[in-house]
Amino acid sequence: MPSDPRFLRIVRATVDGLVGSYGLSSEECVGVTLAIDEALANVIRHAYKNRYDQTIEFECLVNDRQMEFTLLDQGEPPDPARICAGPMDDVALGGRGTHLIRAVMDEVTYNQVPGGNQLKLVKRLHVSKALAVEE
Amino acid sequence: MERQLKFSARSELAAVIVDVVGQIDMGTSPALRKALLESLSGTERIAINLTEVTYIDSSGIASLLEVLQQAKRSKKRVILFGLNPSVLYVLQLTRLTGVFEIHETELQALEA
């Protein structure tokens, strides 16, 4: 996808539909969609410094146990202090995106790979519901 | 591409009500922030109607928080009303439900 905020709405609609079809609750659907949106926004804002003409590779793999979302960008590497997400300040204006991602997703992993900056976000599925979807 | 967010302001019972429609994200929150701060400058009390807001991200939350902080500095009030469950959930995740004054309906917001 282009690193343009106008495309976030399209990704949100896609993720919401996908997550909903795997038996997650409506609250979990909102949470996962929010987490993906925040991660993409972080790439646009921090890695690409609000340059809207760059590219973000976005991939989703689903099996019967989990959904794995992978973001890859070629921007600036993230600040370790930001992605570690210290305690949330209740009145601070910024810095909530990373907290939201960690509050919602079961695994958040950052790696620098040959293709750029890679962020993996994992949401585990409820096994019984995942199997029900398969059946 | 169609714009994702619309807002308009109206006056009711010594308050300015800002009706917001659409999705609030990093692309739309700067314009909303500007509009809310402008509306706040002309009233003692601003009520933000979120009934038709289907999505809000952390940048939208930050915009609302900035308006609230500006209001407090000026001894004014900011009231949110009509939050749908997904917007309320994001406020809960950010632990801000106790920071904002929140009501279910416009009438309740105006009578508060």
pLDDT of residue A127: 58
Question: CA of A39, closest CA in chain B: separation in Å?
Answer: 11
Q: Which residues of chain A have pLDDT under 50?
A: 129-130, 135
pLDDT of residue B80: 98
CA distance A35 to A103: 9
Q: Which of A120, A116, A97, A123 is nearest to A32 (CA)?
A: A123
pLDDT of residue A23: 83
pLDDT of residue B58: 94
Question: CA of A82, closest CA in chain B: separation in Å?
Answer: 15
Identify which of B86, B93, B96 has the shortest CB distance to residue A103: B93
Q: Find residues 74-103 of chain B whose CB sits inside 8 Å of chain A.
A: 85-86, 89-90, 93-96, 99
The strand pairing partners of B103, in sequence order, are B81
Is the pTM higher than 0.90? The answer reads no
Domain that holds residue A61: 5-134
pLDDT tens for each residue of chain B, 112 residues long: 555 799 999 998 889 999 999 999 999 999 999 999 999 998 999 999 999 999 999 999 999 999 999 999 999 999 999 999 999 999 999 989 999 999 999 999 999 8
How many domains does the structure of chain A reveal? 1
Question: CA of B65, closest CA in chain A: separation in Å?
Answer: 7
What are chain B's domains? 5-111 (3.30.750.24)
Counting Cβ atoms within 10 Å, is residue B96 exposed (0-12), middle (13-18) or buried (19+)?
Answer: buried
CATH number for the domain spanning A81: value is 3.30.565.10
Q: Do B93 and A100 touch (CB under 8 A)?
A: yes
Predicted ipTM > 0.90: no
pLDDT of residue A135: 47
Helices A26-42, B85-93: inter-axial angle, 10-degree rounding: 60
CA distance B86 to B56: 8
What strands lie across the sheet with B101-103, from one edge to the other? B5-12, B15-24, B45-56, B77-81, B101-103
